[in-house]
């Protein structure tokens, strides 16, 4: 089930959305910069729990991976930050691709040298997308290429 970003962020509204069967869709209308310093700041002070889906505009499986993570979040009925990070387009041009990620709470784009930014997220990241990072309420970090396995999702949102 897909819900608007406002519903995903609202703890009391999420269960109501899931129960009512409504399919409100809101598309993002702003883009945030993601540079070499952003990841450390998000890990230290960002919202929890959160899912970061790193993607490119040419990734055919990325929208589906986003939908699967979002479906798990909706089934869990928990407020979660669902973030999409587009790696190959900058600024407002990213909004042309936002329709693939309806329900995301934030949209970032890489600003700077892509390889250095990826290294700041995970030095072992092999530049494959979708690359998904789950930040747990307790600060735990889980990483996966593609959709995380069910067990990982359940550890993230128990």
What dotted CATH number matches 5-12+24-133? 3.40.30
pLDDT at 29: 82
pLDDT at 19: 28
How high is the mean pLDDT of the chain?
85
Separation between Cα atoms, residue 70 and residue 51, nearest integer Å: 9
Separation between Cα atoms, residue 69 and residue 64, nearest integer Å: 9
In the predicted structure, residue 115 carries a pLDDT above the cut 70: yes
Report pTM: 0.82
pLDDT at 14: 34
Least confident of 10-14, 28-32, 67-71, 151-155: 10-14
Band of the pLDDT at 15, cuts 50, 70, 90?
Answer: very low
Domains of the chain, residue spans:
5-12+24-133
How far is residue 37 from each of residues 47, 51, 105, 156, measured CA to CA in Å? 16, 18, 20, 24
First to last CA, the chain: 19
pLDDT at 11: 33
Band of the pLDDT at 8, cuts 50, 70, 90?
Answer: very low
């Amino acid at each position: 089930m897909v819900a608007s970003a406002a519903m995903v962020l609202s703890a009391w509204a999420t269960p109501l959305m899931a129960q009512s069967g409504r399919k409100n869709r809101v598309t993002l209308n702003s883009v945030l910069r993601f540079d070499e310093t952003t990841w450390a700041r998000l890990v230290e002070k960002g919202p929890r729990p959160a899912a970061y889906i790193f993607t490119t505009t040419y990734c055919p499986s990325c929208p589906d991976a986003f939908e699967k993570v979002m479906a798990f979040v909706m089934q869990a009925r928990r407020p979660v930050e669902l973030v999409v990070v587009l790696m190959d387009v900058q600024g407002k041009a990213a909004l042309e691709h936002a329709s693939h990620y309806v329900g995301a709470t934030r949209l970032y784009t890489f600003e700077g040298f892509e390889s250095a930014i990826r290294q700041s997220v995970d030095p072992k990241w092999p530049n494959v997308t979708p690359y998904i990072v789950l930040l747990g309420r307790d600060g735990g970090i889980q990483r996966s290429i593609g959709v995380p396995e069910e067990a990982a999702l359940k550890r993230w949102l128990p």
